[in-house]
């Protein structure tokens, strides 16, 4: 069953076309990264899904419920974090989550237990009784995630969830989302951070200037765009003639070296990838510390698509 | 049918939740305490100034109440604008709507809940002022005129009317301060000036809410409209007094129309 469907979703802000006939179907239990530059239409799509704005044309559905006409039924399934969240400054996290939980029909001890649990998850337990008005942006972002997961929603819609977080916060946020993905929830994640999407999501939708450029599983996109990058960490730096020889191997598209690090772009299957490793060790006598796929592959797909779109 | 009943019950519960938390906002932001203090000061001045300057109190409690409630319109406008100005606009201005609106709650339920909280806060202030007046009358005259209850009922109607307008401004404008100021401006200036100009032309401004709110006081001392001809000139001065039940109906209509409009607007307003 599709958790989210958009049909010819179009949005104009005055004369400005922000979203042009977006068609996406997200199966239940899948995690989809929503990528695109600023002004691409990511937030517009998310706002329509959350009934914050109305589409100019087309429809959006959450588990079969039209987000405009049956918004109450649709939003029951959704936990959302839209833009940088702002809370009522006169409330504490406990009170704020209690308010939002009660609005969703939660109550009593169950609600209190769940609030404490989500505050623990986002590492805000220590500040549970502090007025939110005193919170930093990062703390509000964490609280935003807490309110999004409070009711254990079937669908999590997140708009740049790592915005305003420090590196540790970003890591923790990724771990929280990964846990949710592992629980089989549907995740729709708008982000600028490609490695974040690559780590969390199984598919990506690439959007630019309101147009959907691609929507597929990440590995399929990498295949279509023949992008495969291997990051090789070496014990010692290679000589230039060695790098030139590697470049001449079958299937190798490019090799870049930086100190003890090699980035190899190549076309081929996983078997070819394994054979490349053997060749590097046996034929070239390279001492390899680590050999792993680079997270830059998605970035390359992204850049290619944006370039083609322009 | 069952589904409709469930939805209604859910809506009522949600309205109650919103009202409770919104009232908590008024308590925490201390505005409620501020207007209560202002009410107490106004009441105290009206009691102590005549005593301090040896000005005798009116012979009848009705006449004292008429004077005492001369400030009630001012107090209602202040409380209405204070408690309702930011009710809707702040959700957009401070972006709290991004957290509140993606919940399975009708926006109309949010507006009704916020209205109840604003109404409760304004009512508390006005009731406090009436209670002070009642105690003073008991102290001075040993009784409270029966018209006080009627006056209080009209004051409640005026509160609703002021809140209706302020909610409308709050749903139309993006800023809370703008909505609050527009409410002050409309009631203190626009309606008052319009009312005076219409009166000068010899027509009764019965449809102006500030004029209609005069029934809050006039109930103690009903008077007849009057026309004074300036000697040696064709110029006439007109004095009109709000009448019942038309004034009460007008205040009710303004409340229903403005509040309904604010709900329509908020239902369509986009959180961009």
Please report the ipTM that was assigned to this predicted complex: 0.90
- pLDDT value of residue A166: 87
Q: Which residue does chain A place closest to B23, by CA atoms?
A: A90
The H or E element that residue A78 is part of is: strand A78-81
For residue B124, give how far its alpha carbon lies from the nearest alpha carbon of chain A (Å): 21
Ranges A171-180, A267-276, B5-14, B170-179: which has the least confidence: A267-276
Strand positions, DSSP E, chain B: 226-229, 236-239
Under an 8 A CB cutoff, do B98 and A73 touch?
no
Interatomic CA distance for residues A145 and A162, integer angstroms:
10
A150 to chain B: closest CA residue: B103
Q: How many residues does chain A have?
A: 310
Q: What is the pLDDT of residue B186?
A: 96
- Residue A155 tokens read as 């669908």
**What are the chain A neighbours of B99 within 8 Å (beta carbons)?**
85-87, 100, 144, 147
From CA A159, how far away is CA A82, in angstroms rounded?
5
Q: Which residues contact B223 (CB under 8 A, 6 or more apart)?
A: B241
Q: What are phi and psi of B164, to 5 degrees?
A: -60, -50
Cβ <8 Å between A86 and B105: no
**Chain A touched by B177 (CB under 8 Å):** no
Q: Touching check for B96 and chain A: CB below 8 Å? A: yes
Stretch A26-54: mean pLDDT:
94
Question: What is the pTM for the complete model shown?
Answer: 0.87
Inter-chain contact A144–B99, Cβ cutoff 8 Å?
yes
Q: Is the pLDDT confidence value at A297 over 80?
A: no
What is the distance in angstroms between the Cα of A5 and the nearest Cα belonging to chain B?
17
Instruction: Please indicate whether, in this complex, the C-beta atoms of A86 and B99 are within 8 angstroms of each other.
Output: yes
Place of tokens 């070296």: A257
pLDDT for residue A295: 62
Mean pLDDT, to the nearest integer, of A22-45?
Answer: 93
What mean pLDDT, rounded, does chain A reach? 89
Q: Is A83 close to B10, i.e. CB distance below 8 A?
A: no
**What local confidence, expressed as pLDDT, does residue A1 receive?**
78
Q: pLDDT tier at A219 (50, 70, 90 boundaries)? A: confident
Do A96 and A86 contact (CB within 8 A), yes or no?
no
Mean pLDDT of A301-306: 74
Residues of A with a Cβ under 8 Å from any B Cβ are 13, 47, 50-54, 71-73, 75-76, 78, 80, 82-88, 90-91, 95, 99-100, 102-105, 144, 147
Say which residue, A92 or A221, is predicted with more confidence: A92
Burial, B6: exposed, middle or buried (Cβ in 10 Å; 0-12, 13-18, 19+)? exposed
The predicted pLDDT at position A224 comes to 64
Of A52, A82, A84, the CB nearest to B270: A52
CB distance A51–B102 less than 8 Å? Answer: yes
For B106, which of A72, A80, A85 is closest by C-beta distance?
A72
Record: contact B25-A90, CB cut-off 8 A: yes
Burial of B202 (0-12, 13-18, 19+ CB in 10 A): exposed
CA B198/CA B254 separation, integer angstroms = 19
- How distant, in Å, are the alpha carbons of A85, A94, A132, A141 from that of A124? 15, 10, 11, 11
Summarize the confidence of residues A179-184 as an average pLDDT.
90
Does residue A77 surpass a pLDDT of 70?
A: yes
Residue written as token pair 């201390």: B30
**Dmax of chain B from CA atoms?**
76
What is the model's pLDDT at position B122?
96
Helix, strand, or coil (residue B147):
helix
pLDDT score of B39: 93
Tens digits of residue pLDDT in A97-156: 999 999 999 999 999 999 999 999 999 999 999 999 999 988 999 999 999 999 999 999
Measured between its terminal Cα atoms, the distance across chain A in Å is: 34
A152 touches A186 (CB < 8 A): no
How far the first Cα of chain B sits from its last, in Å, is: 36
Task: Flag whether pLDDT at A257 surpasses 60.
Answer: yes
* Torsions phi, psi for A90 (to 5 deg): -85, -5
- Does residue A250 have a pLDDT over 80? yes
Instruction: Beginning with the edge strand found earlier in the chain, give each strand of the sheet holding A2-13 in spatial order.
Output: A16-27, A2-13, A57-62, A65-66
For A283, phi then psi, to 5°, come to: -80, -30
Contacts of B272 in chain A (CB under 8 A): 13, 47, 52-53
Is the per-residue pLDDT at A299 higher than 90?
no
For chain B, which residues score pLDDT lower than 70?
Answer: 1-2
Q: How far apart are CA B173 and CA B255, in angstroms?
A: 19
What's the pLDDT at A268? 76
| Nearest partner of A227 among A279, A307, A308, A302, judged by Cα | A302
Q: Which of A54, A76, A105 is closest, CB to CB, to B270?
A: A54
Q: How far apart are the CA of A75 and the nearest CA of chain B, in angstroms? A: 5
- Kindly identify which residue of chain A lies nearest to residue B98, measuring between CA atoms: A82
CB contact under 8 A, A52 and B29: no
Q: Burial of B218 by CB count in 10 Å (0-12 exposed, 13-18 middle, 19+ buried)?
A: buried
> Contacts of residue A103 in chain B, CB cutoff 8 Å?
14, 17-18, 100, 103-105
CA distance B49 to B270: 52
Cβ B32 vs Cβ B112: under 8 Å:
no
Rounded to whole angstroms, the Cα distance separating A255 from A237 reads: 13
In 3D space, the residue among B268, B154, B170, B271 whose CA is nearest the CA of residue B213 turns out to be B154
Q: What's the rounded Cα separation, in Å, for the pair B120 and B215? A: 22
Residue B223: CB atoms within 10 Å = 9
Contact: B29, A144; criterion CB under 8 Å: no
pLDDT at A310: 59
Helix (H, G, I), strand (E, B) or coil at A251: coil
pLDDT for the residue numbered A227: 63
- Residues whose CB is less than 8 angstroms from the CB of residue A137 and which lie 6 or more positions away in sequence, other chains included: A84, A164
Buried b / exposed e over A64-95, threshold 16 CB at 10 Å, is ebbbeeebbbbbbbbbbbbbebbbbbbbbbbb
Nearest to A87 by CA among B97, B23, B28, B102: B97
- In this complex, which of B97, B98, B104 lies closest to A76 when CB atoms are compared? B104
Q: Which of A53-62, A101-110, A211-220, A290-299 has the lowest mean pLDDT?
A: A290-299
Chain centroid, CA A10 distance in Å:
22
Task: Report the C-alpha gap between A112 and A97 in whole angstroms.
Answer: 9
How many CA atoms lie less than 13 Å away from A135 in the CB half-sphere? Answer: 29
């Amino acid at each position: 069953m599709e958790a989210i469907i958009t049909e010819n979703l179009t949005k104009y802000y005055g004369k400005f076309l922000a979203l042009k006939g977006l068609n996406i179907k997200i199966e239940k239990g899948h995690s989809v990264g929503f990528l695109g530059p600023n002004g691409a239409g990511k937030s517009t799509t998310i706002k329509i899904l959350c009934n914050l704005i109305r589409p100019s044309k087309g429809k959006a559905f959450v588990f079969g419920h039209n987000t405009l006409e049956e918004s109450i039924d649709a939003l029951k399934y959704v936990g959302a974090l839209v833009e940088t969240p702002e809370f009522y400054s006169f409330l504490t996290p406990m009170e704020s989550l209690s308010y939002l939980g009660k609005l969703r029909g939660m109550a009593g001890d169950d609600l209190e237990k769940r609030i404490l649990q989500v505050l623990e998850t986002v590492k805000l337990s220590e500040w549970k009784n502090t007025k939110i008005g005193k919170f930093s942006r990062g703390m509000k972002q964490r609280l935003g995630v807490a309110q999004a997961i409070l009711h254990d929603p079937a669908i999590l819609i997140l708009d740049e969830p790592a915005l305003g977080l420090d590196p540790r916060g970003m890591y923790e946020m990724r771990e929280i989302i990964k846990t949710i993905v592992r629980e089989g929830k549907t995740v729709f994640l708008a982000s600028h951070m490609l490695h974040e999407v690559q780590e969390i999501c199984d598919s990506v939708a690439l959007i630019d200037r309101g147009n959907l450029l691609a929507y597929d599983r990440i590995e399929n996109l990498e295949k279509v765009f023949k992008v495969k990058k291997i990051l090789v960490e070496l014990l010692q730096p290679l000589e230039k003639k060695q790098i030139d020889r590697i470049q001449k191997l079958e299937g190798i598209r490019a090799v870049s070296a930086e100190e003890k690090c090699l980035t190899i772009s190549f076309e081929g299957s996983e078997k070819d990838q394994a054979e490349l490793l053997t060749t590097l060790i046996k034929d070239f006598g390279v001492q390899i510390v680590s050999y792993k796929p680079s997270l830059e592959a998605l970035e390359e797909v992204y850049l290619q698509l944006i370039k083609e779109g322009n | 049918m069952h589904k409709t009943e469930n939805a209604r019950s859910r809506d009522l519960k949600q309205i109650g939740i919103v009202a409770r938390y919104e009232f908590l906002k008024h308590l925490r932001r201390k505005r409620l305490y501020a207007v209560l203090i202002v009410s107490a000061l106004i009441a105290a001045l009206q009691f102590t100034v005549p005593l301090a300057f040896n000005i005798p109190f009116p012979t009848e409690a009705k006449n004292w109440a008429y004077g005492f409630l001369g400030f009630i319109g001012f107090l209602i406008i202040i409380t209405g604008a204070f408690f309702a100005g930011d009710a809707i606009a702040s959700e957009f201005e401070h972006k709290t709507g991004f957290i509140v609106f993606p919940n399975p709650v009708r926006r109309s339920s949010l507006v009704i809940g916020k209205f109840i909280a604003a109404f409760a806060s304004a009512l508390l202030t006005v009731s406090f002022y009436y209670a002070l007046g009642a105690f003073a009358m008991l102290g001075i005259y040993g009784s409270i005129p029966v018209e006080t209850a009627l006056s209080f009922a009209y004051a409640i109607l005026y509160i609703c009317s002021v809140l209706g307008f302020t909610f409308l401004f709050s749903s139309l404008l993006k800023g809370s301060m703008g909505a609050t100021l527009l409410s002050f401006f409309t009631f203190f200036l626009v309606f008052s000036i319009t009312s005076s100009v219409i009166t000068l032309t010899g027509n009764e401004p019965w449809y102006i809410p500030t004029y209609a709110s005069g029934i809050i006081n006039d109930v103690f001392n009903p008077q007849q409209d009057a026309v004074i001809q300036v000697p040696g000139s064709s110029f006439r001065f007109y004095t009109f007094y709000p009448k019942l039940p038309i004034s009460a109906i007008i205040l009710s209509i303004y409340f229903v129309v403005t509040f309904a409009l604010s709900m329509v607007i908020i239902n369509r307003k986009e959180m961009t």
